A and B are shown apart, each in its own frame.
Chain A
Amino acid sequence: MFATYGPMFLLLTVAALIALLFYTGATVLGPKNPTPDKMKPYECGSESSGGNHLKLSVKFYLTAILFVVFDIEAVFIYPWAVHFKTLGWTGLISMFSFLAVVIVALVYCVKKGALEWEK
């Protein structure tokens, strides 16, 4: 396993090390002079307002769940694309009938206004 994925783990380790280096470097080397104003949560330079929990609209949920569903559908297309040539007509027909269902779902979403950002 480590022979196969060695480079990947190496990459992850180096990335983590660099992040750690920058973080600790900034903490150790940087001069610090904290004042109460500086310690406040930073919000684009303006006075911060409200709690840390904001209430989102249910519209976000709909968009997110539609994204998840179409994301999963996209997952199926990767392995199909890899085998596109060897699968021949059977593969083409099976994927197109799958995609037909997906497209109906998409048309339904659009026509029902599920993708519109209503006010």
Chain B
Amino acid sequence: MSTDIWLGWTYFILCALFALVGALATISSANPIRGAMGLLMMILSIAGLYLSLHAQFLAAIQLIVYAGAIVVLFLFVIMLLGPSAQAPSDSRARFPRAIGAGLFLLLGAGVVSWLVMLGQHISKETARLAAAGTWKPATVPSDFGGIDAFGKELFTKTLVPFELSSALLLVAVIGAIAVARSKHGDGAEKALPTAAALTEATPKEEASV
């Protein structure tokens, strides 16, 4: 194995490992702020993976939008909830949940083993086709993944989805204003009900709102 391939593998495995550790930290830590930090770690590692695919513009966007803005938004929401963001330990339905987790793990293991088999199959198939001369590795244009190629693609081929995305962003803005803006006395504090209020609410009370 040449040094370049070996370095590439090391880089990939490091990034993937960090991404996995970050994802596990996100879902397993009881402290939501630690969870958000795990998410940040995962996002950064995935940006690294994008880089290894030569998608440098995507990697930069990943850093700007996800690591920069989305994680901050997550932290804001966690801070919004205050100390109650810490989830109390929930001992209800422990047995079904364990079964669910077990089934999911089993499914995950099955998918992973299938993917490994698929990978072996693909490399065998590729080798066979390459030996027969019917397959060549795809050549990537030299500017692939850069802002140049991305812009050309975005503003020529994918113009329609680009224009449509403005509607999506607009809906996000209106939705945020509709849900989170505090006005008319029914203010921010009431917009986020406590758990007690949720359990107390009945259809009859609702009717009087």
The answer to whether A and B touch in the complex, with CB atoms under 8 Å apart, is: yes
List the interface of chain A (C-beta within 8 A of B).
Answer: 1-2, 4-5, 51, 53-62, 64-69, 71-73, 75-76, 78-80, 82-83, 86-87, 90-91, 94-95, 97-98, 101-102, 104-105, 108-109, 112-114, 118
In the complex, what's the smallest C-beta–C-beta distance from B45 to chain A, in angstroms?
13
Q: Which residues of B contact A75 (CB under 8 A)?
A: 61, 64-65
Specify the main secondary structure of chain B where it touches its partner.
helix
B176 to A60, Cβ gap below 8 A?
no
B65 to A61, Cβ gap below 8 A?
no
B65 to A71, Cβ gap below 8 A?
yes
Measured CA separation A114–B167 after assembly (Å): 19
A105 to B, closest residue via Cβ? B173
B177 to A118, Cβ gap below 8 A?
no
Q: A55-B79, A58-B191, A101-B169 are in contact. List 20 more A-B contacts (CB 8 A).
A: A1-B51, A2-B4, A4-B54, A56-B79, A58-B180, A58-B188, A64-B73, A68-B73, A73-B166, A73-B169, A79-B148, A79-B151, A79-B154, A80-B151, A82-B147, A82-B148, A102-B166, A102-B170, A105-B174, A109-B173
List the interface of chain B (C-beta within 8 A of A).
Answer: 4, 7-8, 11, 51-52, 54, 56-57, 61, 64-65, 68-70, 72-73, 76-77, 79-83, 85-86, 147-148, 150-152, 154-156, 159, 162-163, 165-167, 169-170, 172-174, 176-177, 180-183, 188, 191-192
In the complex, what's the smallest C-beta–C-beta distance from A79 to chain B, in angstroms?
3
B169 to A69, Cβ gap below 8 A?
yes
B167 to A87, Cβ gap below 8 A?
no
B52 to A, closest residue via Cβ? A1
A98 to B162, Cβ gap below 8 A?
yes
Q: Which residues of A contact B56 (CB under 8 A)?
A: 5
A109 to B69, Cβ gap below 8 A?
no
A5 to B80, Cβ gap below 8 A?
no
Other-chain contact of B181, A53, A60, A113 (Cβ < 8 Å): A113
